[in-house]
Amino acid sequence: MLSAIKKELVLRKKEISDYVETIYFGGGTPSLLNPAEIEDILNLIRTHFQVTKDPEITLEANPDDLSKQKIEDLSRSPVNRLSIGVQSFSDEDLSYMNRAHNSKQALRSMEQASKWFDNISMDLIYGLPGLSEERWAENLQCTFDFKVGHISSYALTVEPKTALDHFIRTGKYKAPSDALAERHFKILQEHTKSKDYIQYEISNFGKKGYFSRHNASYWKGVNYLGIGPSAHSFDGSRRSWNITNNARYIKSLEKDRLPSEIEHLTVEDRINERIMTGIRTIWGISIRDIMSDFGETYKEALMKQAKKHLLAGSLYIEEDHLILRPDKYFLADGIASDMFLIKV
């Protein structure tokens, strides 16, 4: 797999001409890599791409992957940011989500990570049917106690053909409730604000200086290159994605063939993507950029779609940006889809 990943990096070296500012080891279990393997991949990136002097280098890990020794080893690698999938500090919640770790492992991994890393992001899940408002507040307080600089928090979604999906369909577990998720979301907003976190994207909360540079690039429409099975890429006008099957991915690259499919985006697709991502952030949608990149007709079409939400007070304009009010964040997906352009 590592050989295939390296081969893909070399084959796609011309796809990124700008400086690489962030590198993200995510998806699957990148924490299985040892420091030497991480360094090997980073050296290859530095050889074939222009990398800034201070790139943000993030590695995703789950608590059960992070032993004391593993965290110490990672701290001596170029990785300067950890994203830890804690999800909850409650065994009841973790069991419902069918997570591999338990609450003791969650606490232990955070205690150790906090000793060796300054820049830590922690994932939390809300909206679980059995999660009381009190226990959700306790989860948040436990997170605050570790003084993490960044929190990513999402409502529970049930993916088809998963164990959780089966348990819900067979009546073993209750299905998630939108009303409960909304109550949890409001608690999340209130408590993070009281601790000086900035909700710079609907599901992301950071202290000053700790926003995810990598994720912010996605939301601002910056080009990105994804390497490995299932990885997605975007160059401003095309989206591509690699096949998911590991064996086929490896065999394809052994033959020097890229294992990806490409979708050419229409103008409407590109604008709708900006609407979908921009509306979720404190930066909003740049009206000026829509005008300069696509022209007056598309700018007017966007403003027409936004008009009713401006009149309703859900959206406002500040410094030529369409921005969603924080108290409407829970409705963002519906508002965004209502603003999508079909054909101009």
- Round the average pLDDT of the chain to a whole number and report it: 94
Domain ranges of the chain: 19-219, 267-339
pLDDT band at 166 (very low <50, low <70, confident <90, very high): confident
Dihedral (Cα; 96, 102, 103, 109), 10-degree rounding? -130
Residue 184 φ/ψ, nearest 5 degrees = -60, -40
The predicted-structure confidence for 147-161, as pLDDT tens digits, reads as follows: 999 999 999 987 887
The predicted-structure confidence for 246-299, as pLDDT tens digits, reads as follows: 999 999 999 999 999 999 999 999 999 999 999 999 999 999 999 999 999 999
What are the CA-CA distances from residue 93 to residues 61, 120, 180, 301 (Å)? 19, 22, 15, 45
pLDDT band at 221 (very low <50, low <70, confident <90, very high): confident
19-219 carries CATH number 3.30.750.200: yes
